Structures are given as C-alpha cells and as structure tokens.
A and B are shown apart, each in its own frame.
Chain A
C-alpha cells in the first residue's frame, strides 16, 4: 500500500527555488510507469560518463543475478523489503528499496547489531550529473536517506543504517552525511560499504542552529 509520509521540498537547481515533493512509503502504477518510461530508457540509452562498474554491468545485464536474489527474497518474505518514492512535478524523482532484517552492523560501536540496509537508493536520471548537462532537482538523496534513518528508529534499531555506495557518491555518504567508510567490499562489486552508527544517527538528525527541526 502506498502511503504519503509527508511533504518535503526539493530545490530546483535551474530556478534556485524549493518545490514541494511528496515522500511515500510504497509505490503504485504511476511510479512504475515513470520508471519504465523515463528512468529505464534514459539509463539504457545513455550511461553517465562517470558510470561505475556496477552500473555498466547492470546496463548490459539481461539477467542481473542480484535482481533475482531480490525477487526471491521479496517473494519469500513480502514484509522484509520496503519501497519508498519521492514525487515532485508529477514525476518520480527518486526511489529507495530498504531491507528491514537480516543485515548486521560492522561498526565497532555495536558489532552484529541489526540495522536497516539501503539496498538501492536511486535518483532520476535528470537529477544526475553525467546523464544531463543541467540536473534539475537537488535533495533527493537527503530526503530518502532521512527516511531510512527514520525507519531505523521506528523499527527500534536506534537509527542504524548501512549501504553500498556507487563510486560517484562516496563523498556524499562519507563527508556530507558523516557515515563510517568501511572501504571496498569485494562481495559487492568493489562498492564501498558505509554505515551510520547509532551515535552518528543522533548527530545526523540533530538540528543545527536555525534548522528548526
């Protein structure tokens, strides 16, 4: 079921103005259409210049085995995964697939503690450098990642999340969000593994002066 969690603004880079966007738990046919008609075609017809190994592999893969694994797990336990979407200007601007069980912390603060694993966080091609000369919306990653941290609190996981970053986004997770960088993971196509510990989650959601949170 698709449920709106709130309205959060994205910044239009072209105008500099903020525009209201709906954050949803769950997806529907409109998100599917947007993904099939806009996202997939853009992804298949043009890879960004800084495409990662994983993206190049995915673009050429007829049968991506990681997707078979996802499907098997989703069908095996329909409650294990959750999908999120952010919509603005009547288009899907980002999606996030999270796994709510079976992933464990590598952080020395709480080794082997359960966490929310962000299996996929994707921004629409028109919001990414490399796909378009002037990407449009800014803030999709912040909204979706904040939703993941929020979920980690809702699930009594004290804000803990983990993910494998695409190489162009390493600096975002390490320097902007402040997650711990565990380095390249050979079992995940060399993508770097990042984790937000409970302490980092508290700092992440802590309002800075003038934030109003």
Chain B
C-alpha cells in the first residue's frame, strides 16, 4: 500500500494538534471480533503449489459468472461500471479472468448489485484462503455449461440460475459448512 503521509508530517501534526481524546465507534466487547482477523493456522492452508491452478480457475469462473449475470440483465460493461461504481477496466479484467487479487470493495459492490451473498463470492474468488471442493465442482459445472454468445440460451439461463441458487444457499451456511 502506498502511504501518502510521512513520519515527519505526522510528528508535526502531533506537536501542532490540540491534545484531545480520539476514540470513535462502539467499543469492541466480544473478543471473537478480534479473533476473526487472526491468520488461519498454517495446518489448514493448502500448499501454495496446489493452490495456484485453483486460483486461475477461480478467476476464470468468477469472470464467467459476472459476464453471464451482466448478459442476463442485458447490461453494457459501461453501465455495470456506473451501477457498481467500479472502473470499467477492472470489470473487464474480472470478466477476462485475468485478475488474481480482487479488491474487497469490488467484490462487495458486485455481490450487492447481483444480490449474491458476499460470503459465497469471496469463497469463489481467487482471494479465498481455503478452497471448497463442492463449490469448485459446482463452479466448473457452471463454467463448462455455456458458450459466450450475445444472448443467453435457455440452457445457459438455467445453468446460471442453478449456480446463483447454489451460491445463495452457500452464503447461508455457517463456518462449519452447515446451514
């Protein structure tokens, strides 16, 4: 991350600013809130070498999903860009499956706009820490079920609807994988 302020600038600010309390927001009382940000234990992480092809596959499936949803809703890329307030170039890269790291805000905006649980989209995205074999199988089935033509065929529409329903159900699951 590029930092837009220097230590010198900050020191001057601290010296110049009135010495006042700065706490904001409701206190964190549940330690689980902090624990949610701790890194996963190394044992449950997949080896990097095993993840790499999955990351490429995830990027491709996610791109395919976004493109099919956009086609379903008959949206030009520029229109989707305006609706979700994400640069057109970024959306194009997502659709092309060339992104390896998605910005959280972009995922959030797409999930909200297409009414797909963000949790499911995160699990599907290249950024997912752990791969879920069931989700990956459903994703591959979806990705191989359709051709990229201008209008969705009945089969493509059914495949897309089935996959969106799967993602919606997936998003309602708890951390243990159960509903």
Contacts and interface: CB of A to CB of B under 8 A. Distances in A.
B27 A175 contact: no
Given A67-B29, A83-B34, A101-B108, A76 B21 contact: no
| Secondary structure class of chain A's binding surface, majority of residues | mixed
Contacts of B3: 5-6, 150
Interface in B12-43: 12-39
Given A120-B26, A164-B25, A208 B38 contact: no
B26 A58 contact: yes
B122 interface: yes
A155 B24 contact: no
Interface residues of A, number: 96
A77 B122 contact: yes
B39 A28 contact: yes
Contacts of A7: 7
B10 interface: yes
B127 interface: yes
B34 to A, nearest CB: 5
A76 B4 contact: no
A11 interface: yes
A97 B28 contact: yes
Interface in A193-213: 194, 205, 207-208, 210-213
A117 B87 CA distance: 21
B53 interface: no
Given A79-B122, A118-B25, A168-B21, A101 B30 contact: no
Contacts of A68: 30
A157 B85 CA distance: 10
Nearest to A3: B1
A120 B10 contact: no
A70 B22 contact: no
A211 B26 contact: no
B131 to A, nearest CB: 14
B89 to A, nearest CB: 12
A35 B31 contact: yes
A68 B17 CA distance: 36
B150 interface: no
11 contacts: A64-B30, A77-B108, A101-B112, A155-B103, A165-B23, A169-B22, A173-B22, A189-B26, A207-B9, A211-B13, A213-B8
State the 10 A-B residue pairs at the shortest beta-carbon distance, nearest first.
Answer: A141-B22, A213-B9, A101-B108, A79-B104, A77-B118, A120-B25, A212-B8, A139-B14, A58-B27, A67-B30
